[in-house]
Structure 1
Amino acid sequence: MPLIIMCGPPSAGKTIRSLELKEYFEGVLKKNVHIVCENDLISASNITKNEVFNDSSKEKSIRGQIKSEATRLVGKEDVVVLDSQNYIKGYRYELYCMTKASKTTQCTILCCAPQETAWKWNLKREKNEQYSEEVFNALYLRFEEPDSRNRWDTPLFVVNPGDDLPLSDVSSALFERKPPPPNQSTQCPPLASANYLYEMDRITQEIVSAILAAQKMNIEGEVKVPGYSQSVVLNAGTRVTSAQLARIRRQFLSYTKLHPGTDLSRIGMLFIQYLNTNLV
């Protein structure tokens, strides 16, 4: 489900715009639409908006719930609308990484309103749904406006009071665009078999043991490792400690576990090459 990130200061019209999007995508394009609403999650937690935004831990908890629900729903066909302030730049980047990992598209809609206008709209709410003046002003000050130059805010649609939503452009951004290709930072590492990990651990430990044994025999320069044509090259007059070798071995294992497609028969040779690179 492609993701629409609603963004804007408090009482700027995000919920009304979210409902417009739902009506369009369901009525015209026959898509299923899921709205993840910040207000609903706050109400379900039996706390008020003012309590949430006056307490950083409570606010972080609500943001976590929003992201978790979006992660559960996001995919390729239906539409997910995130009806929340989403005012933190870093949080929007996290959402971008989430959709990127899900191999789907997203766009950002910024709902703008003059602060005085938004305050009047806020006062028209039910008493228990209003922001206090202190919280309202604080949220305006905290707001980190999206920037179309940031890849995680693009494509960005800015909507002012009285504007029509660019519904066809939003639809094109979601369904006529290729999602950004996932990279290693947004992908779960592939799983390796228990036997693969055991053998990799055994092979690298044998090579480390061979180097330490050679040093005990005062062998300098090239250390021949049984079973391999390549040698581990040690600097003359320099002894490598077991701690150094353990650190390099851990680094090699950490990298290799992320790429377990490597043929086990090549692990020893690759580790020797890695040692020669890192022992210089």
Structure 2
Amino acid sequence: MALITICGYPCSGKSTRAEQIRTFLQSKLGIPDAVSAPPAAESSATSSPSAPSNAPTPQLQVFTVSDDSLNLPRSVYNESRSEKPARGALLSAMQRHANAGTVLIVDAPNYIKGFRYQMYCIARELRLRVCTVYVIATPDVCKERNDARIQSGAATAYTPETLDNLIMRFEEPSSMVRWDSPLISMLWTDEGIPGQQVWDAVTKGDVKPPNAGTQAVPKAPSSALHTLEHTTSALVSSILSEQSAAGGSFTSSSSTSIPVTPTLTVRLALPQRALTLSELQRLKRQFVTVHKKAITLGTVEKGEVDWGEEAVAGKFGRYLEENLKQ
């Protein structure tokens, strides 16, 4: 249904806002909290075990994926070599949970615009609405909150060096770019959330078609090259055999049935003259070269991904009809 990306400085209040948004959306959707609460850890079940077995399953759900739900400590942000796998785990979890029946909230620093763009492309591929929530707080406020966490021994505290580094590297979202739009901003001093804006974004926002660059290219089967070579050669041999049986040339103006295999026959409108092996081989090479390139590069004709014997024979037959001159 929709992807909501939460971003902001560390300790700016992102998790608080994510929980407020989750509660608000569940209330609007009429989903009991016990049914739709996100898993405490990624390895646990997606639905609450305390829900009655005969309880009706809601059509829509609201999940939150975060560092905490993945059991990722804040220390993963101390070094890039530990942060990259953590971002990969977050992206994988987002891909697993994103679907047409879920409003997915990604509660993480999300401070790199390239990472937000990755999530945006996945959402477009799944035809989900998107929304970015920017929680704004000053660096001083974030540092004060982090210091309080350090003093209390909270697991959500960052080292001062890591906090400064993340704040310095933060790439602010912009409503001018498509992967951050629509952008909903809220200050750390705001008591509530702009719930109606979020609701409109996840229920009425535009569903953009997948990017051409994100769509999977149809691949030809591993046997396509063999089928291409074998079928075209068989059709050339059959044409020459049928021509020889007809007295050296095709004299009928109507199409001729050419057997390719014991179970496959192609009807062709061939010129009323003697066809030579050299011209048939030349056309065969041209046809195979073009289609071999399509197979090896994975760029098959849009809507035509059938590389079976019948399809190849039909294509080659039409190619011969168009290129054999009277």
Q: What TM-score does the superposition give when structure 2 sets the normalisation length?
A: 0.64
CA shift at 1:132, angstroms?
Answer: 1.4
The match for 2:113 among 89, 93, 113 is 89
Matched residue type, 2:172: E
1:181 counterpart = 2:209: yes
- 8 Å CA contact 1:189–1:258 kept in 2: the answer is no
- Cα shift at 1:195: 5.7
Establish whether residue 226 from structure 1 lines up as the match of residue 281 from structure 2. Answer: yes
Q: What is residue 23 of structure 1 aligned with on the other side?
A: 23
Could you tell me which of 233, 243, 266 is aligned with 2:315? 266
Equivalent position SS for 2:134: strand
Aligned position for 1:255: 299
TM-aligned CA deviation for residue 61 of structure 1: 1.0
Letter matched to residue 144 of structure 1 = E
Q: Structure 1 residues 269 and 88, CA, compared in 2 at 3 Å: closer, same or farther?
A: farther
- Which residue matches 2:14? 14
One of 166, 176, 181 as aligned partner of 2:194: 166
Partner of 1:112: 136
Q: Counterparts of 1:1-280 in structure 2 under 5 Å?
A: 1-31=1-31, 32-41=61-70, 44-45=71-72, 48-50=73-75, 52-125=76-149, 126-127=152-153, 128-163=155-190, 164-190=192-218, 192=220, 196=224, 198-200=226-228, 224-226=279-281, 228=283, 251-253=293-295, 254-256=298-300, 260-261=304-305, 264=312, 265-266=314-315
CA 1:150–1:194: 2 relative to 1, 3 Å: same
- Cα–Cα, structure 1 residues 30 and 78, in superposed 2: closer, same or farther, change >3 Å? farther
CA RMSD of aligned residues (A): 3.3
Larger Rg: 2
Rounded Cα–Cα distance in structure 1 between residues aligned with 2:78 and 2:233: 54
Q: 2 CA distance for matches of 1:267 and 1:12?
A: 64
Deviation at 1:258, TM superposition (A): 7.2
**What is the aligned partner in structure 2 of residue 237 from structure 1?**
none
Shift of 1:224: 3.9
Q: Which amino acid aligns with 1:266?
A: K
Q: 1:200 to 1:147 in 2, by over 3 A?
A: farther
Q: Hey, which of these two has a bigger chunk of helix by percent? A: 1
CA distance, structure 1, for counterparts of residue 229 and residue 118 of structure 2: 34
Deviations 1:103-140, CA, capped at 9 Å, x for gaps: 11111001110000111112232424311111110000
Partner Cα separation in structure 1 for residue 229 and residue 127 of structure 2? 34
Percent of aligned positions that are identical: 28
Gaps of 5+ in 1: 207-222, 233-244, 271-280
Q: CA deviation at 1:203?
A: 6.6
Q: Decide whether the 8 Å contact of 1:190 with 1:259 is kept in 2.
A: no
Change (3 A) 1:62 1:201: farther
Residue 251 of structure 1, CA deviation: 4.0
Partners of 1:191 and 1:260 within 8 A in 2: no
Q: Distance in 2 between matches of 1:198 and 1:257?
A: 19
1:209 maps to which residue?
Answer: none
Q: How many residues align?
A: 239
Q: Deviations over 1:136-180 (max 9, x none)?
A: 100001101111111111111111122232111111111112311
The offset of 1:14, in angstroms, is 0.3
**TM-score normalized by the length of structure 1:** 0.73
Cα separation, partners in 2 of 1:268 and 1:142, compared to 1, 3 Å: farther
Shift in alpha-carbon separation, 1:251–1:144, aligned structure 2, 3 A: farther
